Amino acid sequence: MMNEGCAAARRLYHEFGLRGPQDFSVEELINARNIFYSEKPLAHADGRIVPRGSRVMIILNSDIPYAGRRRFTQAHELGHFELRHYLKGTPEDTALTLDYYQHGNQEYEANQFATELLMPGDLFREFVKDKPFSPDLLRTAADYFQTSITSVTFRYLEQGPHPLYLFYSRNGNLLYFKQSPGYWLKVKDLTRLSVPTDSVAMEYYRDGTIYSREESAQEIVKSTWFETQGWDDRHLFYEFAIVTKAYDTVLSVVWSP
Ligand SMILES: [Zn+2]
């Protein structure tokens, strides 16, 4: 079933006669909606939407270093507008609300809106089909769809052919995990605990290690993140750690070859 956010993005495509995400800048859509738009440094948020008299203003944190993350944040804030969330308060968006798919219904919907607007399901499935999974595939898709690698990763989790687990941690503690539909492994009991000592995420928290592009798929073993039964402890898995230094978060992408 199509969720509200996704349906609102489809409506926008229809209303403006858009064919694909290369047809527009999100700022153009924001202007078309008669929304004030500004950019300035925000201490603890990537973006925010606030009432301004009879109109609405979207503010983007001008310090966001990546074009893809800027575009995803703009689309997320536009989603709050399209879904009329601003009438119920003033969402303030941090790395957590932008990445965390189950952080309240409004955030989920705004993320689904941004996801469908920037990476329409049919175009995304076509793009990743028949391509082997790798960190470079995620980077290539992020470039192609002009969005953040984090948002591409969540999109791939839902719609890509290769099964994945995602582990999201902050300051060394695991906040949540999520897996591809129909994929199930028993995850160690880690929620709200430190990430595993032998994980790539922990290498970052402990030593500040960030691997180069060529080395970003690091070999780990199944027992790093999952419960095992002895015979499968050393089964090969890979972990790609997507680090956001400003928020001290790591999104660990874990897969079996
Ligand atoms: Zn939000």
Domains in the chain (CATH in brackets) are 4-119 (1.10.10.2910), 163-257 (3.30.450)
Distance 75 CA to ligand 1 centre (A): 10
**Which of 6, 159, 165 lies closest to 83, judged by CA?**
6
Beta strand pairing call for 36-40 and 47-52 = unpaired
Distance 81 CA to ligand 1 centre (A): 10
Distance 198 CA to ligand 1 centre (A): 33
pLDDT tens for the 257 residues of the chain, in order: 568 999 999 999 999 999 999 999 999 999 999 999 999 999 888 899 988 888 999 999 999 989 999 999 999 999 999 998 877 666 667 665 565 555 568 888 899 999 999 999 999 999 999 999 999 999 999 999 999 999 999 999 999 999 999 999 999 999 889 999 999 999 998 777 899 999 999 999 999 999 999 999 999 999 999 999 999 999 999 999 999 888 899 999 999 99
Beta strand pairing call for 36-40 and 55-61 = parallel
Residues, beta carbon < 5 Å, ion ligand 1: 91, 93, 97, 107, 110
The structure tokens listed for 70 are 């800027």
Q: How far apart are CA 227 and CA 250, in angstroms?
A: 21
Q: How far apart are CA 236 and CA 136, in angstroms?
A: 19
Contact 177, 143 (CB under 8 A): no
- The predicted model scores a pTM of 0.91
- Report which secondary-structure segment, H or E, holds 69: helix 67-82
Distance 6 CA to ligand 1 centre (A): 15
Distance 94 CA to ligand 1 centre (A): 8
- Report which secondary-structure segment, H or E, holds 145: helix 135-145
- Report which secondary-structure segment, H or E, holds 216: none
